[in-house]
Structure 1
């Protein structure tokens, strides 16, 4: 009976999506998906799943308030079992990365360390935790690009930058939603210090910066068709972030669905970037 919960603690849907996202980095770098690059998917899946498991271990008190349906608060997985499980997954992901490239191995090791530091320390520091999550999200594209060498990694920097800015914006808003549970768990997030309204303003500014980067003529596929398509995604991103500007309390941010709309806009923007790379 415990096995499904050990699968659930990985957040398997998110982990699979992260693995597939690494292939998008390969596409940006090469315009195709070489068969051997499929190895990147299980590497990212294992490391992402490990990060989710170790995060649940360190967040078990907070999750008892904010996410009582997760495996540890429900008593379906012990904290010690989740921690050992995460270590096993980290080791498996890093070992598998040795079959890719030295650059991929380096990123795999760095990201494993960042995920542990995030769960243990950074998440409870204002803004630092948000930046760590955003870095990991953006680095998935760098990981895919690194499979094709330094040039492939460089081609993915703008895509990673847009992802980093959007994710930082969304993570700040998620913290604004979770102030009550974070306070009980002893976290000190940015919205707790600045207030929800100021945090929402910063989130909007970061989303605006992501939109500006998306318009810069730094992409090989930059042109009228790309600009027209990316404008649709950018409008959704800015609309999502703008919904939170009127909020001064966590319940308002949750009711606005700003984080969900912002996520949808970001996914659409990434889809447009990848489609542009394929068409090029």
Structure 2
């Protein structure tokens, strides 16, 4: 039987924050009073983080067990703390749990849950395994971690399709997350190279991949700032601009040693990135007012 501590490590609580935060951004951007909606807000946060994201981590670790044996042999599955096929069983059980919980969020929430579960397996599992591509893999994760939860939070609160402005901003931040996921691939550089995973750090080299990741993260935020100005939200646009300038400083530090600084940037720069997301969500909530 797997060790309880290893099971918790398998679903990686540290990775739950981005989709939970994105869901809350969607809730805020919808502009719907929270009174009477506390249950679906709390349920959506739990679904986005511990359940769907945790399931995706378990599925990824199972499908990546041969890569982790090279990069991180102390991980739960290659170390034997999750023995046999328990990694697969946990991922499958959590997939069913995700769909069951998503059902209580209504048709929009359930539909988004189905998409999220399918995306998690498409990213990790053969024969699709989009993780093999440094373009499609990070793109799918960015959409699943930032765009889809944001869209879902807004749809569940609105009980219908979110406004076009919400979709645009959520999509832009999801595109920017492609760069974040590229930096996340630096930690698996050697294992990816040996097992044929064509991540951008493997294909382009660490220096070029890091520069490209910075561009991909920055350009969508510039577009968000422009859209906020067009929509008459100069104060919020100014705050997001300041947050972006702080990221420019962090990017300069990153580019001095891309491979060594990538973990640092994933803690520092990403925190700034998601802060801008919430500022943008507040602007969308109050669209039409100063």
TM-score normalised by length of structure 1: 0.87
Partner of 1:171: 181
Shift of 1:203: 1.3
2:279 maps to which of 236, 248, 272: 272
For 1:112 and 1:56, how far apart are their aligned partners in 2? 15
In structure 2, the residue corresponding to 1:156 is in which secondary structure?
Answer: helix
Aligned pairs for 1:60-139 (under 5 A) are: 60-78=65-83, 80-120=85-125, 121-137=129-145, 138-139=147-148
Q: Find the counterpart in structure 2 of residue 25 from structure 1.
A: 26
TM-fit CA distance, 1:222: 4.5
User: What SS does the aligned partner of 2:207 have?
Assistant: helix
Normalised to the residue count of structure 2, the TM-score between the two structures is 0.84
Once residues 118 and 45 of structure 2 are traced to their aligned partners in structure 1, the CA distance between those partners, rounded to angstroms, is: 19
Partner of 2:10: 9
How far off its partner does 1:91 sit? 0.8
SS at match of 1:117: helix
Structure 2 Cα separation of the partners of residues 206 and 151 of structure 1: 27
Aligned pair 1:143/2:152, yes or no? Answer: yes
CA distance in 1, matches of 2:244, 2:160: 29
Q: Is the 8 A contact 1:26 1:152 kept in 2?
A: no
Q: Per the alignment, do residues 261 and 12 of structure 1 end up closer, same or farther by CA in structure 2, a change over 3 Å counting?
A: closer
Could you tell me which runs of 5 or more consecutive residues in structure 1 were left unpaired when the two chains were aligned.
Answer: none
Q: Deviations over 1:53-83 (max 9, x none)?
A: 0101011122223333321122111251011
Contact map agreement 1:28 1:155 (CA 8 A) in 2:
no
In 2, Cα distance between the equivalents of 1:107 and 1:259? 26
Going from structure 1 to structure 2, the CA distance change for 1:73 and 1:209 (only over 3 Å counts) comes to same
Q: Does 1:259 align with 2:266?
A: yes
Instruction: Give me the CA root mean square deviation.
Output: 2.5
Q: Deviations over 1:77-98 (max 9, x none)?
A: 1251011111111111111211
User: In the superposition, relative to structure 1, how do residues 255 and 201 fare at CA in structure 2: closer, same or farther (>3 Å)?
Assistant: closer
Seen in structure 2, the aligned counterparts of structure 1 residues 221 and 10 have a Cα distance that, compared at 3 Å, is farther
Deviates more, 1:1-10 or 1:215-224: 215-224
Give the direction of change, closer, same or farther, for the CA distance of 1:222–1:84 in structure 2 (3 Å limit).
farther
Q: Which ranges of structure 2 fall in alignment gaps of 5 or more residues?
A: none
User: Measured at CA, do residues 277 and 156 of structure 1 come closer, stay the same or move farther in structure 2, by a change above 3 Å?
Assistant: closer
CA contact (8 A) 2:13 2:54 kept: yes
Aligned residues: 276
Q: What does 1:186-205 align with in structure 2 at a 5 Å threshold?
A: 186-205=196-215
Q: Distance in 2 between matches of 1:27 and 1:86?
A: 31
Cα distance in 2 for partners of 1:79, 1:156 equals 44
Q: Hey, what does 2:38 align to over in structure 1?
A: 35
Find the aligned partners of 2:18 and 2:142 in 1 and give their Cα distance. 15
Structure 1 residues 141 and 274, CA, compared in 2 at 3 Å: closer, same or farther? Answer: same
Relative contact order higher in (CA < 8 Å, ≥ 6 apart):
2
